């Protein structure tokens, strides 16, 4: 289909239509029906073709005069402007199984028949007669289809190249992301090992310090308890030793203050360790969050990679199908060229026959002229010798003249028949001939 038809095309869809020839069902065909509105010429074109069989190609360019003839012959109650809309509506109804459509073939034309079925009869709503598309137009459509397929093939090749390039880039990004993830995981493990080692060392150190200080305090408390018992015993035994007891109490108070100071220092160290632990916990959480984000990015990239691989496989399948279609079209084009050569040979033979017939006609005309000249000469001789012969001889000459006139009439009839045959052969040769399979 040429670009002009595409720009003016108002309807183009595939229909599954039964094919009849002389009221005999042949087969169901998938036909492409197109309607083009050439408003600059006030022409509505209806085109029907089988895209799998280039010889099945019919069309009709209908102007207002053609429509008036069809409207009067079919008693249609619409005008030319409404015809296009109603025709498209009926085609859409056929797509929805609300309208019946069939194609009737007869010699070099086909007829679209829109009809409905009731319980008792078939009602024909509209018939559209189409004529066979000429060979030049069919070859033009085949070339256009081949060019479109080549353009689609080139576009698919470009898309395939872009997809491959995108896949390579995505695979590179995935590898880089996986390497980054691996590096971050290794860094996280290193930090985690360092934190664990640091905490273990600190815990051991604090535990040792606490055990040492607890042991020391226990010894001091035990000593204080013993001293207190001793003081109590001495206070009971010696009431005059109160001064000594006060000194001992002061000593105990000082030791208690020292113990409180040690406990505060331990609390401070414990708070520092807790703060360090919280800091390292935050670092660990941040690293875990980064790892989760990287896992999500990796998952998304892998999903996109799978989608691109699927698209690549689909594109490869489409390219293979288009390549097969191109091969089929190339074979059809070779077959069409061979048919064109055969047609040209047939045309040359017919032209040769016409030339032979024309030569024969010229010879016949020449012969007729000669016979007329001879007849005129005989008539002149008859006039000259008319008075010299008897009635019997006159009758004989008249009879011979009648025979010659009859022969001339037969020759003229033969010439007319030859002229008629010449016209028929000329029409057949110059007319539109269908393809042969």
- pLDDT tens, position by position, 226-236: 887 887 777 67
Give whichever of 32-46, 182-196, 306-320, 350-364 has the largest mean pLDDT: 32-46
In which band, very low, low, confident or very high, does the pLDDT at 414 lie, cut at 50, 70 and 90? confident
Q: Which of 133, 168, 187 is the last residue of a domain?
A: 133
Out of 10-14, 27-31, 221-225, 430-434, which region has the weakest mean confidence (pLDDT)?
430-434
Q: What average pLDDT score do residues 225-253 get?
A: 73
CA-to-CA distance for 356 and 360, rounded, in angstroms?
6
Where does 79-132 have alpha helices with state H? 80-95
Question: Contact, 119 vs 37, CB < 8 A?
Answer: no
Share of the chain above pLDDT 70, in %: 87
- Residue 436 has a pLDDT of 43
126 lies in the same domain as 181: no
358 lies in the same domain as 304: no
- Residue 435 has a pLDDT of 41
Please state whether 130 falls in left (phi above 0), alpha (psi between -120 and 50) or beta: beta
342 lies in the same domain as 311: no
Domain membership of residue 436 (yes or no) is no
157 lies in the same domain as 261: yes
Domain membership of residue 16 (yes or no) is yes
Out of 14-23, 330-339, 395-404, which region has the weakest mean confidence (pLDDT)?
330-339
Domain membership of residue 115 (yes or no) is yes
Report which of residues 351 and 152 the model is more confident about.
152
Report which of residues 35 and 432 the model is more confident about.
35
Report which of residues 6 and 132 the model is more confident about.
132
Q: What average pLDDT score do residues 52-76 get?
A: 93
Token pair 């085949």 is found at 142
Q: What average pLDDT score do residues 85-94 get?
A: 95
298 lies in the same domain as 345: no
Domain membership of residue 87 (yes or no) is yes
Give, as one character, the DSSP assignment of residue 97.
Answer: T
Q: How many domains is the chain partitioned into structurally? A: 3
Whether 126 has a pLDDT exceeding 80, the answer reads: yes
Q: What average pLDDT score do residues 79-93 get?
A: 94
Whether 330 has a pLDDT exceeding 90, the answer reads: no
Q: What average pLDDT score do residues 237-256 get?
A: 72
165 lies in the same domain as 281: yes
90 lies in the same domain as 210: no
Whether 242 has a pLDDT exceeding 70, the answer reads: no
Domain membership of residue 435 (yes or no) is no
266 lies in the same domain as 206: yes
What contacts 285, CB < 8 A, 6 or more positions away? none
Residue 397's alpha-carbon distances to 247, 405, 421, in angstroms, are 196, 12, 36
Domain membership of residue 138 (yes or no) is no
Please give the angle made by the CA atoms of 305, 179 and 292, to the nearest 5 degrees.
75
Whether 128 has a pLDDT exceeding 80, the answer reads: yes
CATH at 54: 2.170.210.20
Report which of residues 328 and 302 the model is more confident about.
302
Please give the angle made by the CA atoms of 383, 384 and 389, to the nearest 5 degrees.
85
**What is residue 17's three-state secondary structure?**
strand
Domain membership of residue 333 (yes or no) is no
Share of the chain above pLDDT 90, in %: 24
Give, as one character, the DSSP assignment of residue 435.
Answer: P
- Residue 386 has a pLDDT of 61
- Residue 72 has a pLDDT of 95
pLDDT digits (tens, 9 = 90+) for 22-52: 889 999 999 999 999 998 888 999 999 998 8
112 lies in the same domain as 238: no
- Residue 385 has a pLDDT of 65
Whether 164 has a pLDDT exceeding 50, the answer reads: yes
272 lies in the same domain as 200: yes
In which band, very low, low, confident or very high, does the pLDDT at 340 lie, cut at 50, 70 and 90? low
- Residue 295 has a pLDDT of 77
pLDDT digits (tens, 9 = 90+) for 357-386: 778 778 877 877 887 787 778 777 767 766
CA-to-CA distance for 285 and 398, rounded, in angstroms?
138
Q: Which of 133, 162, 196 is the last residue of a domain?
A: 133
Out of 53-67, 91-105, 419-433, which region has the weakest mean confidence (pLDDT)?
419-433
Q: What average pLDDT score do residues 321-328 get?
A: 70
- The mean of the pLDDT values for the chain is 82
Question: Contact, 340 vs 142, CB < 8 A?
Answer: no
**What is residue 257's three-state secondary structure?**
helix
70 lies in the same domain as 170: no
- Residue 142 has a pLDDT of 83
Domain membership of residue 160 (yes or no) is yes
- Residue 379 has a pLDDT of 76
Domain that holds residue 384: 338-430
- Residue 83 has a pLDDT of 94
User: What are the beta bridge partners of residue 14?
Assistant: 32
102 lies in the same domain as 196: no
């Amino acid at each position: 289909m040429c670009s002009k038809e595409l720009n003016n095309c108002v309807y183009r869809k595939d229909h599954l239509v039964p094919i009849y020839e002389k009221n005999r069902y042949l087969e169901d065909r998938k036909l492409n029906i197109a309607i083009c509105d050439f408003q600059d010429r006030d022409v509505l074109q209806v085109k029907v073709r089988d895209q799998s069989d280039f010889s099945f190609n019919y069309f009709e360019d209908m102007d207002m005069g053609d429509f008036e003839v069809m409207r009067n012959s079919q008693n249609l109650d619409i005008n030319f402007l409404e015809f296009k809309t109603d025709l498209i509506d009926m085609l859409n109804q056929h797509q929805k199984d609300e309208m019946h459509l069939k194609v009737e073939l007869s010699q070099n034309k086909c007829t679209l028949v829109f009809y409905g079925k009731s319980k008792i009869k078939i009602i024909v709503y509209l018939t559209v007669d189409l004529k066979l598309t000429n060979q030049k137009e069919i070859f033009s459509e085949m070339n256009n289809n081949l060019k479109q397929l080549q353009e689609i093939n080139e576009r698919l090749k470009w898309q395939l190249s872009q997809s491959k390039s995108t896949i390579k880039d995505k695979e590179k990004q995935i590898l880089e992301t996986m390497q980054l993830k691996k590096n971050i995981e290794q860094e996280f493990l290193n930090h985690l090992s360092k934190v664990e080692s640091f905490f273990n060392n600190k815990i051991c150190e604090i535990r040792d310090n606490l055990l040492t200080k607890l042991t020391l305090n226990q010894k001091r408390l035990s000593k204080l308890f013993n001293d207190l018992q001793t003081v109590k015993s001495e206070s009971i035994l010696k009431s005059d030793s109160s001064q000594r007891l006060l000194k001992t109490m002061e000593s105990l108070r000082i030791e208690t203050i020292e113990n409180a100071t040690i406990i505060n220092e331990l609390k401070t160290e414990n708070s520092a360790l807790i703060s360090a632990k919280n800091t390292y916990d935050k670092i660990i959480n941040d690293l875990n969050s980064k790892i989760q984000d990287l896992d999500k990015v990796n998952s998304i990239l892998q999903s996109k990679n799978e989608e691109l691989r699927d698209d690549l496989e689909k594109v490869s399948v489409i390219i293979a199908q288009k390549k097969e279609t191109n091969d089929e079209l190339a074979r059809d084009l070779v077959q069409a060229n061979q048919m064109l050569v055969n047609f040209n040979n047939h045309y040359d033979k017919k032209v040769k026959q016409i030339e032979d017939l024309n030569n024969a006609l010229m010879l016949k005309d020449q012969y007729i002229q000669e016979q007329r000249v001879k007849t005129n000469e005989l008539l002149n001789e008859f006039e000259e010798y008319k008075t010299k012969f008897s009635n019997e001889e006159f009758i004989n000459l008249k009879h011979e003249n009648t025979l010659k006139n009859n022969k001339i009439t037969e020759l003229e009839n033969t010439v007319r028949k030859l002229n008629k045959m010449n016209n028929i052969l000329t029409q057949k040769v110059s007319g539109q001939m269908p393809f042969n399979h």
